[in-house]
């Protein structure tokens, strides 16, 4: 396991060109995000930092973690990170404890990592179970002692629209994303009495450099065009659009929102969510 990277700066600052944000009550809060070096996880970490929250991130590649931590600290907040595979339960639990120690506690957990396994073989089922489902369960269990001490604790579980309806990812990916929505809903009821809110967020297709849809765009352009045509907005989502929803759900501004699954998909899905 790689050594932790962490840095501190005295006061939160906003990046050049950013407008003044609505006060979500996140200044001084401590947020932990798995898969925080790229895509939705990285955007979420950046938005938490822009709101004045300290951040802890993990990902599998140490160099990417080091770069992301430095960029987050440059925004003027405490930032820490470590190379961790969330499928490694003991390593994940140790990182959560260490991150809480470095930041002085935890208020927010965003479980974001996915194996992105859409094959139908047994290896894909195992990868989805260990990474998406158990990676989420383990990070939340490890964080629970710290969340119970927070006066504004929140958990956001990242699912997918593939957990709500049948699409090309039907199989391991869709099944375990659906399980995460059920898990979040159950936790919201079980933890409400402790003042811990739990919500799921289901992104639609999200495009970013180095992401799965960029790879599909170049490797399978016909399929990419078909996927793009499904969305009536004419485009895919951007990581920052998902991040804003995550940060709001995790913030004290959403203090009476718990047990919901927020779909952020630009009208991609057709199902009615009652």
Residues annotated as catalytic are: 159-160, 173, 177
Ranges of beta strands (E only) in the chain are 5-7, 30-34, 54-59, 79-83, 108-111, 154-158, 197-203, 261-264
Nearest CA-CA partner of 57 in 74, 30, 79: 79
Cα dist from 12 to 29, 46, 58, 78, 253, whole Å: 12, 12, 21, 9, 19
Rounded to whole angstroms, the Cα distance separating 188 from 178 reads 16
Pairing state between β 5-7 and 79-83: antiparallel
Tallying the residues shown for the chain, one arrives at 274
Residues 95 and 220: their CA atoms lie apart, in Å, by: 37
- Does residue 41 contact residue 111 with C-beta atoms inside 8 Å? no
- The helix (H) or strand (E) run that includes residue 48 is helix 39-50
Phi-psi category of 195—alpha, beta or left, where left has phi over 0 and alpha has psi -120 to 50?
Answer: left
8 A C-beta contact, residue 147 and residue 155: yes
Name the nearest CA neighbour of 148 among 113, 206, 105, 112. Answer: 105
């Amino acid at each position: 396991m790689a050594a932790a990277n962490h840095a501190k700066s005295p006061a939160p600052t906003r990046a050049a060109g950013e407008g003044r944000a609505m006060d979500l009550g996140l200044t001084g809060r401590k947020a932990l995000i798995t898969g925080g070096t790229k895509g939705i996880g990285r955007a979420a970490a950046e938005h938490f930092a822009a709101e004045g929250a300290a951040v802890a991130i993990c990902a599998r590649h140490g160099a990417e973690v080091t770069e992301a931590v430095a960029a987050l600290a440059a925004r003027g907040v405490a930032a820490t990170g470590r190379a961790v595979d969330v499928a490694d339960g003991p390593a994940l639990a140790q990182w959560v404890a260490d991150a809480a120690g470095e930041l002085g506690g935890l208020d927010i957990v965003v479980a974001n990592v996915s194996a992105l396994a859409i094959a139908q073989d047994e290896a894909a089922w195992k990868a989805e179970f260990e990474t998406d489902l158990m990676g989420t369960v383990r990070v939340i269990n490890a964080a629970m002692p710290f969340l119970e001490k927070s006066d504004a604790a929140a958990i956001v579980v990242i699912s997918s629209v593939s957990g709500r309806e049948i699409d090309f990812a039907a199989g391991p990916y869709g099944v375990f994303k659906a399980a995460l929505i059920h898990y979040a809903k159950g936790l919201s009821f079980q933890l409400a009495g402790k003042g811990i809110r739990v919500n799921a967020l289901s992104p639609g297709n999200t495009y970013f450099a180095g992401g799965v849809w960029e790879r599909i765009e170049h490797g399978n352009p016909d399929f990419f065009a078909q996927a793009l045509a499904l969305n009536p907005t004419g485009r895919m989502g951007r990581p920052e659009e998902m991040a804003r929803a995550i940060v709001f759900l995790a913030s004290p501004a959403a203090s009476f929102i718990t047990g919901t699954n927020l779909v952020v998909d630009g009208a991609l899905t057709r199902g009615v969510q009652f």
